[in-house]
Amino acid sequence: MKKWNSHPKHTLICTVGTSLFYPNLIGLPSPKNYESWLNKQPSQDRAYLSPEFVTNLKKNWTESQQKSTGDGCADLIIRALQSIAQLLTQLPGTTRLCGAEINSIADLITREYCTSNCKLYFCHSATESGRNIANILAHYYRRNDRAVVTHEIEDLQDDDPKRFRTKGLRNLAKTIGQIVRESGSEFCAINATGGYKAQIAIAVLMGQALGIPVYYKHERFSEIVAFPPMPISLDFELWQHNSGLLEALQRNDVLNWDDFAEDWDEKMEVMVERVEVDGQIYIELSPTGQIFHDTFKNRFDASKNECLPPPIDPPRKIKPSLTDHGWGNAREPILNFSRTITDQCPYVRQCRTHYWNPDLSQATRFRLQSEQIEGIFSNGSWTVKFYVDTSANTSGQRAACIADLNQRLANWI
C-alpha cells in the first residue's frame, strides 16, 4: 500500500503568517540588551547571532517599517526587505529567528518530504505585513535559483472578520485548488505552518479532500508533523445534482435564495453562506463549499468519460423545439443556445422548451426535475426552461450529464 509520505514532492504550497516579523524581528535587541536577548535564543542558534549580524538585521527591519510616501521611500523599503532576506540566508534554515515558513521548509527538505529544489507557492494575506514577508521569502529562495510564486489572497485580512470568513478563506481554497490542478495532485504537498488558525484549517481540509499530504510545525515541536489521511466522506452524487448551483455561485458570487428554494437540499447548507440585503436573502459559496466544488470538479474531469452515456449518431439528433409563445427578441438566443448544447454534447438528442417568462431573471444552470434533465437559460430579464433529451438510461448517467452540462456552461454564456 502506498504510504502518505512515500516520495518527495516537487511542489510545496505554503500558507504565510507573520512570525518572522512578530515576534522575531520586532523583538531584536538594542546593543545594551543583546546579551539578555541572546540567552533567550535556542542554544544551537547562538553561534550564528553575532552582535554585528543582529545590529545589521535590526537596522534593515527598522527601515522596512517606514511608511511609503513616494517612489524613493518605496524603493528603500524594498531594498531593506531584500537585505533582510540576504542576511537570513547566512543562517541555517532551522534557526528560529528565520520564522515559521523557512524553519518548516528546511525541515521538510531535510526529512525528504519535499525535493531540495521543489517549486514554492506562498499564499499570503492581503495585508502590508503579508506582502512584505512574501517579498522576503521570494527573495530568500530565489537567491538559490529556486522557482517561487507568490499569491496574494484577496480579502484574507484582519480588518473585517465577515469578509475574512466569507470571501478570504474561500479565495484561499480556490487558489490552493487551482495550484493543485495545474501542478498535479500527485506532485503536491501543503505546508500549513504559517498564517491565521482558520487559514491553516482550510489548508488542512483542502489537503484531506484532494488527497495530498499536509504538514505543520509548531515552534515547540522538535520536528514537522504530517496530518494523517482522514476518512472524510464527500458525496459525489450530491455534487453532481447541485453542480449547477455551485457553478452559478462561482460565476456570480451571490445569488437570490428564492431561485433555489423549491428544490433545496438541506445537505447543501454547509456549502453556502446566507446574507440579507434590503430584506432579501442571498446565498454565496462558503469556504467549505469551495473545497467541495473544487474537489469534485477535479474528480469528475478525470473520470467523466467513464460516467457519461454513449454518444448519439449525428443523423439521429433533432433540432430544438420551441413551444408556442411570442418569444420576441429572445427566440434567436434561445435557439442558438439549444443548438450549441445539441451540437457540442455527444449524448444530447434534443432540447425542448416547456416554460417561458419574459419578466423573470434566474441563474442559468442545469438540474434534475422529475427524472428529467432541465436547463434554465436567462439573459437577466427573461427566463426559459427546457428539457434536455439524452441517451442516458440510468440515474448515474443523468447525474453525469448534468455535471458535464454545468461544466460546459462557462463556454456558452
What is the model's pLDDT at position 247?
A: 92
Whether residues 309 and 407 fall in one domain:
yes
pLDDT values of the chain reduced to their tens digit, one per residue, 413 residues: 334 456 899 999 999 999 999 999 999 999 999 999 999 999 999 999 999 999 999 999 999 988 755 666 888 899 999 999 999 999 999 999 999 999 999 999 999 999 999 999 999 999 999 999 999 999 999 987 899 999 999 999 989 988 898 889 989 998 998 899 899 889 999 999 998 888 888 888 888 888 889 999 877 666 788 887 665 556 888 898 899 999 999 888 889 999 888 888 888 888 898 888 888 999 999 888 888 888 888 888 888 889 999 999 999 999 999 998 888 899 999 999 999 999 999 999 999 999 999 999 999 999 999 889 999 999 999 999 999 999 999 999 999 999 999 999 989 98
Question: How many CB atoms within 10 Å of residue 234?
Answer: 13
| Whether residue 333 is found in the same domain as residue 291 | yes
**Same-domain check for residues 280 and 388:** yes
Q: What is the pLDDT of residue 2?
A: 39
Instruction: Please state the pTM of the whole predicted model.
Output: 0.76
Q: Which domain holds residue 96?
A: 9-226
The domain boundary residue, chosen from 192, 226, 260: 226
Are both 288 and 211 inside the same structural domain? no
Question: How far is Cα 139 from Cα 83, in angstroms, rounded to an integer?
Answer: 9
Same structural domain for residues 288 and 181?
no
Q: Are residues 171 and 287 in the same domain?
A: no
**39 inside domain:** yes
The single-letter code of the amino acid at 146 is: R
Say what the pLDDT of residue 301 is: 85
User: Considering 226, 253, 281, which residue would you say is the last residue of a domain?
Assistant: 226
Query: Does some domain include residue 147?
Result: yes
Q: Evaluate whether residue 385 is within a structural domain.
A: yes
Predicted local confidence at residue 314, as pLDDT: 94
Q: Is residue 2 part of a domain?
A: no
Final residue before a domain boundary, out of 174, 206, 226: 226
Q: What is the pLDDT of residue 315?
A: 95
Q: What total number of domains does the chain contain?
A: 2
CATH number of the domain encompassing residue 101: 3.40.50.10770
Cα–Cα distances in angstroms (integers) from residue 223 to residues 5, 91, 105, 412, in the given order? 15, 18, 11, 50
Residue at 294 is within a domain: yes
- 201 and 175 share one domain: yes
> Is 208 found in the same domain as 242?
no
Q: Is residue 4 part of a domain?
A: no
* 198 and 61 housed in the same domain: yes
Does residue 256 share a domain with residue 203? no
Q: Is residue 33 part of a domain?
A: yes
The answer to whether the beta carbons of residues 182 and 151 sit under 8 Å apart is no
Are 175 and 66 in the same domain? yes
- 287 in a domain, yes or no? yes
Q: At a CB cut-off of 8 Å and minimum separation 6, what does 163 contact?
A: 155, 157
Tell me: do 201 and 267 sit in the same domain.
no
Supply the pLDDT for residue 225: 85
In this predicted structure, what is the pLDDT of residue 71? 63
